[in-house]
Chain A
């Protein structure tokens, strides 16, 4: 029981660390590599990785917390709760993909692409509904597509380490 408690604590710690590191890299390092200001959504990738390994419940809570952080951390200037909602749904969807076998590379990439599109679209739609975004829809779609491409490319570097770190803490594998 004690082992189980410490595993879940360690899991939360690892995911929190991954989210914070992703957030800082997303706002400092990647803008130098950005295409028209579009950077990879590293935080979204961490949430997807959490969903692939731990299922919807864990990924939803992760997505919500990471989204709130993304909404509040500078230089964000939109209505708070928009990324929280988007990443919450991303966590839910990514978690539903999880099977008892390890997902194949194709599955991971497809999930990342779908989740990236879903996350950006939900964020965009919430902005249009709340009248928080004032830009033309074609320009916005261009940004969404570029973001999906970036995310698929960066998935290879973000998803495996996060899933491996979380997988190692599975209670089943500790008992064995």
Chain B
């Protein structure tokens, strides 16, 4: 009889030796508590805007970013493959519709001498806009956040070495994509318009009316933005185009996160909220957020970059 009471045969161990970890891998309670506490403290540390976790983020980003860029580059030919196999019928239909569109546009140009004259007047303004210097740093989207994370962010393969900084505007051929949240040396994280955290100042192109665009957090066919207008008397029409509102500082450079005048989307429906006494419009964004690839980041003209920069006049530098 042991002084410590009866011992079960399985629990016999030499005196002074620590209990061995049991064989089926059940964790000791201390480990569970330690790991859960570690998670909780990480969450606490990461609250707020200037978090202490950000340096760790940028270190991980510097390692994972290039890996993502490598893999994305390797699979790009495969991703682009379906385009080559599009059927002839589809191409023919596309050609027909393009021809019709072309004819329509030609008629419009012929019939609108007045508008053409107006445009000539505006050309001065256009060249001023060019001299404001919206230069673009080209970049490729190499990583996309999953919907399971309930955020819509993407990684691009350009970082601070390419002259990028947080809050810069990201656009592509179709329109506004989003803004840069944070950069590492070689990669940057972009918050897209459709994220539910994203709010963009927008202006209806036809009426110059101002409002705020809020993402809905949905991607794909149901990707929509909600536009809340500041002036409730004005009702936007279906089909109106919304461009970014933006802001300029005293030197005429883009100061806010979003550059002015970038197309965002089209009004698809309008409804009035009587209780909040505001007009709300639903916007279909021009950019297809499931097919993001080549994007441009708006930088000041003459920015130092590790790659060719597209200048405002269309030249490569």
**Chain A interface residues (CB < 8 Å from chain B):** 20, 23-32, 34-39, 41, 54-61, 64, 67-69, 71-85, 88, 92, 95-96, 98, 100, 120, 123-124, 126-127, 130, 133-135, 139-140, 143-144, 146-147
Chain B contact surface mostly:
mixed
B18 in contact (CB, < 8 A): no
Q: Which of B36, B144, B148, B150 contacts A41 (CB 8 A)?
A: B148
Name the residue on A nearest B183 (C-beta): A74
Q: Which residues from chain A contact B217 at a C-beta distance below 8 Å?
A: 134-135, 139
Stretch among B56-64, B169-177, B234-242, B278-286 lining the A interface: B56-64
Query: In whole angstroms, what is the CA distance A14 to B47 when docked?
Result: 33
Rounded to whole Å, the gap between the CB of A146 and the closest CB of chain B is 8
Task: With A75-B189, A77-B153 as known contacts, state yes or no: A126 contacts B26, CB within 8 Å.
Answer: no
Task: With A57-B21, A139-B217 as known contacts, state yes or no: A85 contacts B56, CB within 8 Å.
Answer: no
The count of residues in chain B whose C-beta lies closer than 8 Å to any C-beta of chain A is 63
Query: Is B148 touching A147 in the complex (CB atoms < 8 A)?
Result: yes
Q: Which residues from chain B contact A73 at a C-beta distance below 8 Å?
A: 60-61, 64
Task: With A37-B147, A75-B155, A80-B45 as known contacts, state yes or no: A57 contacts B26, CB within 8 Å.
Answer: yes
Query: Is B68 touching A68 in the complex (CB atoms < 8 A)?
Result: no
Query: Is B25 touching A84 in the complex (CB atoms < 8 A)?
Result: no
Chain A contact surface mostly:
helix
Query: Is A74 touching B155 in the complex (CB atoms < 8 A)?
Result: yes
Query: Is A76 touching B71 in the complex (CB atoms < 8 A)?
Result: no
Query: Is B145 touching A123 in the complex (CB atoms < 8 A)?
Result: no
**A-B pairs with beta carbons under 8 Å apart, 12 shown:** A27-B144, A31-B146, A32-B75, A34-B144, A36-B220, A37-B147, A39-B146, A75-B145, A75-B189, A77-B151, A84-B38, A98-B25
Stretch among B6-14, B94-102, B190-198, B307-315 lining the A interface: B190-198
